[in-house]
Amino acid sequence: MKKSALPDPFAQAREAKGYGTVEDQNDPVTMLLRLKDVRKTAKDTKTFQSGAVPGRIVVPSEVSIRDTRQIPFEVDPPMHGEYRALLEDWFKRPEQPTYRESLEEIITELVDEALQMDSLEVMEQFALKLQSRALTLLLNIPYEESEIWIDWGMHVFRSEESALDGSKAAILYDYIDEQIDKAIASLGDDLYSTLLRSEIEGRKMTKEEVKGVMILTFAGGRDTVINAVTNSIAYFAEHPESLARLDAEPEMTTHAVEELVRYFSPLTHMGRVVTEDTQVCEHAVKADSRVSLCWASANRDASTFENPNEVILDRKMNPHVAFGFGIHKCLGATHARQVLRTLLAVLAAKVKKIEILDYKENIEDWEEFQRKVGYDSIRVRFEGK
């Protein structure tokens, strides 16, 4: 097995019965593993609710460490649509040429730096920096602010000891509170101010609502982007021919990004609360229990994807759900796609070879399923053209 490979731990359960079960803080979760079940469930927002107690649809549950509702992700229709409509244009900005140019500058600088070093640890020294600096563009705030977020280290919500660390999450929450107060004192053209100026149902958005959007913006795009960036570098280290091909056929980049995202599936799954007794893949689920939509498993479903465990960079038909599916699909997807497209273009243009020197895998433990989602650390050496 290649070092960069992400095996599929769900195959057997997906084919045999279509679901798995995880115990989570006395609130078990039925994980849906087949692409069609995942898609159908994601579309049925009546039976499968997102607007449950804040934190409950996340697995592991965050009910014990937060009560701020993340918006629009923990809201159901019709309110969901109102919030989403407010945010849509802002989160589409990454398609604008000026945004793309700034992103290219950020990534080029990092790659140039990496080329100068004897070796680097990709998570800390590349992906975390990239994610933090790119986020300043999404929020439309000064670049320097990223230094604070880089200083937070890899995990804001997780510590060495615990996957759910309330005291660490408090750092982010306090920070966001402070930023909102600052924006109230003097409105600018950043995301905080834009939200504070927005109206929902004929009234101004509350501080708590703004906070809900901002927490989601920070949290949703952090480890996901970091993993996608790091996994991409590991992949190209073991597939220099792919890098050369992207350089020769840049028009392939869009397809390549979708395929890498399918293969990596940076977010393993996302939960829903069942509102009435029902069935998923012929399995009964009770009202007020939880199911999860396992994007990572769905994206390897052999009944739709040919050779699902291979990265086929120019895969034409690729109906993956790595950014989710339905009304709650990832709001930051345009930004994430732009980050990855730019990363691939810059790597293809400048890098000849990447060598993996040392690594430690990050394996998520979902009881019967052990899933590699990326790395805790990975040291590499870049070689320029």
Interface residues with other proteins (CB under 8 A) are 36, 39-40, 43, 254-255, 257-259, 304, 315-321, 323, 326, 329, 333-334, 337
Burial of 30 (0-12, 13-18, 19+ CB in 10 A): buried
Choose between 43 and 385: whose C-beta lies nearer to other proteins: 43
Distance (Å, whole) CA 14 – CA 31:
10
How much of the chain is in helix, strand and coil states, percent to nearest 5? Answer: 50, 15, 35
Please give the DSSP secondary-structure letter assigned to residue 68: P
Residue 21 vs 254, nearer CB to other proteins: 254
- Closer residue to other proteins, CB minimum distance, 96 or 206: 96
CB of 58 or CB of 298, closer to other proteins: 298
Write down the H helix ranges in the chain. Answer: 11-16, 35-43, 79-92, 97-116, 122, 128-139, 146-151, 166-185, 191-197, 207-220, 223-238, 240-248, 253-264, 295-298, 333-350
Nearer to other proteins, 135 or 257 (CB): 257
Q: Find out whether 86 and 198 touch, Cβ atoms under 8 Å.
A: yes
Establish whether the linkage from the previous residue to 28 is cis, with ω within 30° of 0.
no
CB closer to other proteins, 22 vs 330: 330
Nearer to other proteins, 183 or 257 (CB): 257
Smallest gap from residue 255 Cβ to other proteins (A): 6
> In the block, which residue shows the tokens 């500058």?
105
The least distance separating other proteins from the CB of residue 258, rounded to whole angstroms, comes to 5
Decide if 356 contacts 238 (C-beta within 8 A). yes
Closest approach of Cβ 43 to other proteins, in Å?
A: 5
In the complex, what is the shortest distance from the CB of residue 21 to other proteins, in angstroms, rounded to a whole number? 25
The nearest distance, CB 32 to other proteins, in angstroms, is 15
Instruction: Count Cα neighbours of 89 within 13 Å in the Cβ-side half-sphere.
Output: 6
Write down the residue that tokens 């790119």 correspond to: 134
Cα maximum dimension of the chain:
60
Supply the minimum distance, in Å, between the C-beta of residue 263 and other proteins.
13
Q: How far is the CB of 378 from other proteins (least distance, A)?
A: 28
At residue 9's C-alpha, the angle toward residues 5 and 11, to 5°, is: 110
C-alpha to C-alpha distance for 317 and 301, rounded to whole angstroms? 13
Minimum distance between the CB of residue 318 and other proteins, rounded to whole angstroms?
4
DSSP letter at 189 equals S
CB 211 within 8 A of CB 177: yes
* DSSP 3-state of 352: strand
Nearer to other proteins, 239 or 255 (CB): 255
Task: Please say which residue, 206 or 303, places its beta carbon nearer to other proteins.
Answer: 303
User: To the nearest whole angstrom, how small is the minimum distance from the Cβ of residue 189 to other proteins?
Assistant: 24
